[in-house]
Chains A and B, each alone.
Chain A
Amino acid sequence: MKRADLQAIVASGFGDRGAARYVFVRARAGSTPEEVRAELAARALPHVVSIESNKPHAFAQLAFGPGGLRAIGLDDEELDTFPREFVQGMAHPERARVNGDRVDEWHLGRGGLDVLIAVFAGSDGAALALERAMLDGARHLERACEPLVASRLPDQTEHFGFRDGVSQPSILGVHGDPRGPERPVPTGEFVMGYENVYGQLPAAPSLSPARGVGLPESRVSPGRRDLGDGGAYLVLRKLEQDVFAWRAWLREASRPLAGYVADPEAYLGAKVVGRWASGAPLVTCPRADDPAHATKNDFDYDLDLSGLACPRGAHIRRTNPRGALPPSPPRSRAAVETRRLVRRGRPYGPPAGDAPDGEARGLVFVCLCANLARQFEFVQQTWVEGVKFDGGWSEDDPLVGARRAGADRFTIPRDPVRYAPRGLPRFVTARGGGYFFLPGMDRLRWLLGARG
C-alpha cells in the first residue's frame, strides 16, 4: 500500500490542529488551464501533505469539483469518466432530490464549487497566514466566496452539546491497529485503486492514452490511463444548527415525561441522538449518562431490535444501523459495511450562549468515500431522509432530517406505551456544499504538472 500517495485527511481529521479554514477557489476569468495549473502547483501544492508527511504547523489539502477539473484542463469526455453524481454536483436538481436539499435555501455552492483548499493549523492566525500566502497576489486564482472557518468547542462536542465523531471506521492499510473490535473496512471503500468490500477495484476516472501521457494504464478501464489511484471523493456540507429551536423543543416535548423519567430533557435528547451528551450509547447505558462509556463504540442493536433502549429512528442508529436491519444481524452488518463513511467535519460559528444571539452556527460536515451514490447519498437518502427506515411510517432523522412531506414525528418505544411527539421542528438546515475529487498525491502532481 502506497501510504505516501494518500492525502493526509484520508487517515485523520487532525484533531491536534485546532484551526481549520475551508477556502473555495476558482480560476479568474480569462486564465488558461496552463496558468491555473502552474499557479496551483507553485502556491498550493507545496503545502499539501500526505499521510506519511511530517506535518508542519500549517498545511493544506486540495480537492476539485467538476468546474475545477475543467479549469485545469480536463475535457467533457474525461469528466464523463467521473461518476454522474460528481459531474452533476450537489446543487443539481436530481442530486437535491436524492439528498432532500432545498437549494434555494443555500448560501454556498449554488452554482457549484470549483476548488477546495482545506487549511489546517495549530492556530487561527497560522491558518489565515497560510491561506493568504497561497492566494494573496495570485494572478489566476481567486476566492469564490468567503472561506468557512471552523471553530472549537470543548470536548469534541457539536453545537447541540453532544460528543461528535465517536464512531469512525478504520481503514485497512491506513490505520495501523483497528480501533475497537470493529474489523477494518477494505481500503477501496474510501480510496480508489484498492479492493472494496466486494473484492473489486472501484470505478475510477481515466484519460485516453494520448491525453494521459505519463500516467499508468487503468486497471478498471482497459485501454485508458488512470486518474483515480490514491484518490477519494470528498463531500462537504454546511449544516446550520438551530440550537435555540433544539433547546426549546427539548423543554416543550419532554414535559409529558416529567415524573416518569429522571431528567426528561436529557432523556429526550439522548433518545433523539442515540447517545447521551457525554457520548455514552443508549444501548450500553439505557437509564442514565455514564462518562466512562463516552467513546464506546463496541456495541450493537441485535439485543435491542425493538428499540426500547435506543429508538430505531435515533440519529446514530439511522446513520450506522450495525446489526439492526432485516433479515438478520449478521446480514445487516454485512450490508451496512458497504455504506460506511469516514467523517472529517468540524463545527463553525461561536458556541451558543443562554439567549438567542442571531449568530449562524453549525457543522462543516466533511466525509470521504469511493462511491458517492452507494455511500454518502445512500446514507443521506435512505437512512437519514428515508421516512420508511426500518419499518417506520412517516419519520425522518429526528436530529438532522429535513422534515419533508409531513415527516415530523419521532417514536420512542417504551413498555408498554410509546411516546411519539409530533411536529418536530427542523433543527438542522443544509446551507450548501459540494462534491469534490480528492486526488492521490501522484495524480495531483500529474494534474498540476506542465504537459503538452
Chain B
Amino acid sequence: MVLPVDPPRVAELEAALAEVGVTVDDGARVFGDLSGLHFARLVVVPEGEDGRAWLALETNFDGELAPHLDELVARVVPRARAAFACCRGFSLDDPRGSLLAGRLPERAFYLGHQGLTVETIQNDREVKRALSDLLDDEIAGDPALLAEGADPRPVMRRLLERLARERPELRTGDLPRPLHDAGGFHARLWGIALFVVALVLAGAALHPSGAWIVVALLLAPVAALAVALGLAERRDAAEIRDQPIRHYTRDELDRLATIGLIEDGSPQNALTHLVTPKPGALRASLLRFVLWGVDQLGKYVYRYGSLGAIPTIHFARWVILDDGRLLFFSNYDGSWESYLGDFVDKANEGLTGVWSNTREFPPTKLLVFGGARQEERFKVWTRRNQLVTQVWYSAYPDLSVRNVHAAARLRELSVPTARRALAREWLGLL
C-alpha cells in the first residue's frame, strides 16, 4: 500500500519512522504480533519529478486481506500513528478506508517458499532445533552412535519417539502446502502454440506459400519491435557510456552511509529500490510485459524457490506508482554484495529485462542482454537508486530460504520409515 504524503511533511514522516528504529527487533514492536505475517516494511518514497511522495507499507501475509487489514488497523496504525498522521487525507477515524485507498497491485511477485505459512515455517524450525539437540544429547550419552556405516533407522526411531514425547506440540509429517496450480499456465502456453500451428496449417491449405505468409505476418510485429528497441537502446547507450562508472553525489554518499549501518545486521536483509522508467510508450509497455512474464515464472515455474537460480529470495515484488516510478522490494538472505552478485552472475537476463526500461540503466542489447552483466555499473546504479528501509520486520530473521526448505523436508520425513535411504537423508538434515 502507498499513502500520499505532502512533500513538506516528508521530513516529519522520516522522523516518525526513525523513532521506531531500523532493526528487526524495532520492526517487531510494530508488526511482531500480527498473525501470518512473514515480512513487513515502512518506507518513505521521496518526491518524484511531479512532486508526489508516499509512505509505502509492504506486508507479506498468509490468508485473506480482510482479517489482515483488521489487524493493521487495530495494531499497526496506533503504533505508528505519528507516521500515518503525516499522510495526506489519512483518516485516523477510518484507517481501514485510507489503507484500502492506497492499495497498489503488484506487477510482479515472487515467493521463495510458496505454500509455507509462517506457522509452518516456525514449526519446522523448532522441529529442526529440537531434533538437533536431541541428537547431540544421544551422542553425549552413547558415543558409539558416531561409528560409521551403522543402520540409520534405530537412531531415527529413537529420536522421533523422544520428539513426540518431549515436544508434543510440534507437528511432523506432511502439512498442507497449497501451490499455484501450474495447469492453467501450461494449458495457456499449449493453447497459444496450437493456435499458431493451426494458423500456419490454415495458411498452407489456402495458398501454396500460405504457411510462409502466415509466419511472416506473425513475425512482422516482433521484428518491428526489435528494430524500434534496437534504435532506442543505441540512443540510451550513447548517453550512458560517457559517464564515469563511479562517482556518487554527496547526497548519495550520505544515504549509502545510513544504509551501510542498517544492512547485514541479521542473516537477512531488505532492499528497497526506486527508479523512473524511460519515457515513451515502447518502454512503458515493455516494462509491463516483462514484469508480467517474471510474475508468471515466479508463480508457475519456480514454485519451489530459486527464481532464476537465486536461492536466497524470500519475498520480492515490483509495483508501479501512480507517477509511473517502479518500486522494488526484496527480502533476501546474506549480504548485499552476495545478492547483487547473484543478480549479475545468475539472473542477469530477467533483471536486465525489467530494469533496461528504466533510466540510466547500463547499456543493454535486445532488452535482456548486457545491462546487469556490466557488473560495476550495475551495482553503482542499484546503490544510487536504493532507498533507506526505515522500518523492517521479519518473522524468522534467523532462517535462510535454504534453511526453510531443509526444515520443511526434515519435518515431512519425520515419520517412521523402514527405508534406509530416507532415514539416512533425514539424519543428514540434522
Contact = CB atoms under 8 A, between A and B. Distances in A.
Interface stretch (A127-135, A167-175, A408-416): A408-416
B427 A202 contact: no
Contact of A414 (B148, B243, B341): B148
B406 A98 contact: no
Given A338-B341, A414-B146, A222 B244 contact: yes
Contacts of A414: 146, 148
A98 B132 CA distance: 30
Nearest to B337: A378
Interface of B: 128, 132, 135-136, 139-140, 143, 145-152, 155, 241-248, 253, 256-257, 260-261, 264, 267, 306, 309, 311, 333-335, 337-338, 341-342, 344-346, 373-376, 379, 398, 400, 402-403, 406, 423-424, 427-428, 430
Contacts of A206: 244
Given A388-B400, A417-B155, A221 B337 contact: no
> Chain A, interface size: which category?
35 or more
Nearest to A198: B375
A206 B243 CA distance: 13
13 contacts: A198-B344, A202-B376, A222-B241, A327-B311, A338-B345, A339-B341, A388-B334, A388-B400, A388-B403, A415-B148, A415-B149, A416-B427, A416-B428
Contacts of A222: 241-244
A329 to B, nearest CB: 13
A130 to B, nearest CB: 36
Interface in A211-254: 218, 220-224
A393 interface: yes
Q: Which of B151, B345, B373, B424 has the most CB of A within 10 A?
A: B345
Contacts of B132: 420
Contacts of B148: 260, 414-416
Interface stretch (A15-23, A79-87, A431-439): A79-87
A202 B379 CA distance: 13
Interface in A131-148: none
Contacts, number: 146
Contacts of A327: 306, 309, 311, 346
A200 B335 contact: no
Contacts of B149: 415-416
A102 B273 CA distance: 30
Q: Which of B267, B344, B423 has the most CB of A within 10 A?
A: B267
Contacts of A373: 337, 379
A391 B375 contact: no
Given A221-B246, A378-B337, A388-B400, 7 more contacts: A80-B247, A84-B256, A203-B244, A260-B143, A327-B306, A374-B337, A417-B152
B136 A420 contact: yes
Contacts of B241: 222
Closest 9 CB pairs of A and B: A221-B244, A416-B152, A94-B260, A388-B400, A203-B245, A327-B309, A382-B338, A335-B345, A391-B402
Contacts of A265: none
B151 to A, nearest CB: 8
Contact of B428 (A97, A393, A413): A413
Nearest to A394: B398
A331 interface: yes
Contact of A388 (B135, B333, B337): B333
Contacts of B427: 416-418
